[in-house]
């Protein structure tokens, strides 16, 4: 049986909830992080096949061609530190978190240009992902992203 795991992270504690999931081929984790800019929400899906990016969301994937583990944000949400996103077993190659793992993206947001950066908190190289675009990160960018902003690259 698969479970839907919901984790709420606050400055003082982390609270986790689990409930049965109706998806038989995927693992789903919904997470909220309280940041200085407000609460940031993302969803992580894990599956062997291509995972569609829902309308109104920005999606990053651990494998090329929209496969592996998908981390998905509603339009306007972001994560300045990918080490805070834990990976499903077998989907990430480095430290068990999403830092330096993104290989492909789909931006199905509502008019927002997103940016991934090599450094936590932004900086280093940046890769812009305009609204309604998708693709694989090229050589030199694959497996290098450490943060996400929703206001485009500097």
What's the pLDDT tens digit per position in 38-63? 555 667 777 777 888 999 999 999 99
The residues spanned by each domain of the chain are: 37-149
CB within 8 Å of 80: residues ≥ 6 apart: 35, 120, 121, 122, 147, 148, 149
Sign of CA dihedral 35, 4, 29, 134: negative
Residue with the bigger pLDDT between 26 and 113: it is 113
- What pLDDT, on a 0 to 100 scale, did the predictor assign at position 102? 96
Residue pLDDT, tens place only, 128-140: 999 999 999 988 8
User: Of 4-13, 84-93, 135-144, where does the model show the most confidence?
Assistant: 135-144
Judge if pTM exceeds 0.85.
Answer: no
Q: What is the pLDDT of residue 88?
A: 83
* DSSP one-letter string for 8-58: EE-SS-EEEEEEE-S-SS-EEEEEEEEETTEEEEEEEEEESS--PPPTTEE
| Residue 137 to residue 102: CA distance in whole angstroms | 8
Report the DSSP pairing between strands 27-35 and 38-47.
Answer: antiparallel
Q: Which of 34-43, 62-71, 140-149 has the lowest mean pLDDT?
A: 34-43
Fold of 37-149: Gamma-B Crystallin; domain 1 (2.60.20)
The secondary structure element, H or E, covering residue 63 is strand 57-63
Count of CA atoms in the C-beta half-sphere (13 A) of 147? 17
CA distance 21 to 26: 9
């Amino acid at each position: 049986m698969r479970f839907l795991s919901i984790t709420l992270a606050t400055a003082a504690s982390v609270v986790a909830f689990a409930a049965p999931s109706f998806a038989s081929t995927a693992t789903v984790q919904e997470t909220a992080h309280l940041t200085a800019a407000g609460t940031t929400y993302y969803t992580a899906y894990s599956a062997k096949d291509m995972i569609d990016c829902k309308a109104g969301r920005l999606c990053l994937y651990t494998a090329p061609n929209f496969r592996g583990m998908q981390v998905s944000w509603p339009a306007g949400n972001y994560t300045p530190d990918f080490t805070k996103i834990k990976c499903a077993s077998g989907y990430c190659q480095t430290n068990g978190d999403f830092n330096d793992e993104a290989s492909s993206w789909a931006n199905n947001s509502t008019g927002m240009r997103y940016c991934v950066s090599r450094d936590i908190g932004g900086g280093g190289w940046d890769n812009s992902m305009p609204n309604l675009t998708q693709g694989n990160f090229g050589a030199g960018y694959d497996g290098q992203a450490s943060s996400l902003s929703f206001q485009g690259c500097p």
